[in-house]
Amino acid sequence: MSDQLNDIEKAALDALDAVTSEDALQAWKTAYIGRSSPLMLVFAGLGKLSKEEKPVVGQAANRVKVALEAAFEERTKAVKDAALAKSLEEEQLDVTLPGRPAPRGRLHPSTVQLRRVLDILAEMGFQVYTSREVETDEYNFQLLNFPLHHPAREMQDSFYIEAEGRGDNPILLRTQTSPGQLRAMREYAATNPQNPPPIRIASPGMCYRYEQITARSEIQFNQVEGLAVGENITFADLKGTLTDFARRMFGQHARVRFRADHFPFTEPSAEMDVECFVCGGKGCSVCRRSGWLEILGCGMVHPNVLMNGGYDPKRYTGFAFGMGPERQAMLRYRIEDIRYFWGNDVRFLGQF
């Protein structure tokens, strides 16, 4: 009997050695440890054995069963491992094939830069104030201390709108966001004419100049105008605020410098340069070898402008500044040609 069991065991183990697949494993299991396998038949025949033989054969059969089951487990694991190893080896992707594109929308680069500017200014307390794009000469020039026929007007050639009977107050496309200064001041002052409230606004929007369209000049461009009016605002505050702004915009180590300049609606006026962030001030083609980039114009609000806005210049002071997001974007992204901005070519827009 024990010979028979040894034969069963040997045959089973030999057969198991040849098993290499899941299917064969199942077939082996049925054949060698299944209900009608020779081993199980031995168990089934135990009842027919003598009292003496029964435990001996039972024990021996049990040992074979445990051994076969263990061998089966082991083999199962080996087969699975081999299958996994095989599949891992076979399932090699060409990782250099392109990924499947997921649709993605983009903001226009002007919007991206406008947001950067406005976000920084918002944290400094400058609230967005928007105003109209088609303006009167009065708001675009006269109230901003550009008298009729003043030489400063020559710096800003305008697009005029067909309209009759308007005399010295024609309609035009705003050449700057500065009319917003007046509209804001008048709006604020109207809330309390005796004690107008302080102002801190940022005015973004499209402006227009009569120019030829070239790589460097455009007929429309965005501007962001800042205005702070209050009872204790100084030129030193203007410098402090804009220096902070430049650090936020161009990095904590950005160096700035201020040069005297002239704008009709501010006095004193200045131009702020920031050290070229492309070359770190060493000089490169972006900064035209000067190491500095002109970033914005600024100054103390001219007393005539304060008065026109309803703020008494003897009591209130203020500063204003203006900058061009497209110019900043051009510097930041090294865009060489301003015509890309309104060209609406998706190959350009898709890059931002």
Question: Residue 267 binds which entry of another protein, Zn ion, none, with Cβ cut-offs from 5 to 8 Å by kind?
Answer: another protein
Residues 265-294 that bind another protein (CB under 8 A): 267-271, 281-284, 288-292
Separation of alpha carbons 340 and 351, rounded Å: 12
Interface region with another protein, contact rule CB under 8 A, candidates 28-36, 70-78, 142-150, 330-338: 142-150
Binding site for Zn ion (CB under 5 A): 276, 278-279, 284, 286-287
235 or 277, CB closer to Zn ion? 277
Any bridge partners for residue 207, and if so which? 221
Under rule CB under 8 A, residue 48 binds another protein:
no
Is the Cβ–Cβ distance between 197 and 284 less than 8 Å?
A: no
Question: Residue 150 binds which entry of another protein, Zn ion, none, with Cβ cut-offs from 5 to 8 Å by kind?
Answer: another protein
Is the Cβ–Cβ distance between 162 and 109 less than 8 Å?
A: no
DSSP H helical ranges for 219-345? 235-250, 303-309, 325-333
Dump the DSSP string for 62-82: HHHHHHHHHHHHHHHHHHHHH
Q: Kindly report the number of other CB atoms within 10 A of residue 283's CB atom.
A: 15
Question: Residue 298 binds which entry of Zn ion, another protein, none, with Cβ cut-offs from 5 to 8 Å by kind?
Answer: none
Which one among 47, 105, 167, 193 touches another protein, defined by CB under 8 A? Answer: 105
Question: Residue 38 binds which entry of another protein, Zn ion, none, with Cβ cut-offs from 5 to 8 Å by kind?
Answer: none
How many residues would you count in the chain? 352
Residue 212 C-beta: closest distance to another protein, Å: 7
In 3D space, the residue among 220, 216, 240, 238 whose CA is nearest the CA of residue 229 turns out to be: 238
57 or 325, CB closer to another protein? 325
Which one among 120, 219, 254, 286 touches another protein, defined by CB under 8 A? Answer: 219
Question: Residue 77 binds which entry of another protein, Zn ion, none, with Cβ cut-offs from 5 to 8 Å by kind?
Answer: none
Question: Residue 243 binds which entry of Zn ion, another protein, none, with Cβ cut-offs from 5 to 8 Å by kind?
Answer: another protein
Residue 198 C-beta: closest distance to another protein, Å: 4
Residues 301-320 that bind another protein (CB under 8 A): 302-304, 307, 313-314, 317
Give the 3-state secondary structure of residue 286: coil
What dihedral do alpha carbons 93, 95, 101, 102 form, nearest 10°? 80
Beta-carbon contacts of residue 247 (< 8 Å; ≥ 6 apart): 253, 254
Beta-carbon contacts of residue 65 (< 8 Å; ≥ 6 apart): 33, 39, 43
137 or 273, CB closer to Zn ion? 273
278 or 349, CB closer to Zn ion? 278
Residues 198-217 that bind another protein (CB under 8 A): 198-200, 206, 208, 210-213
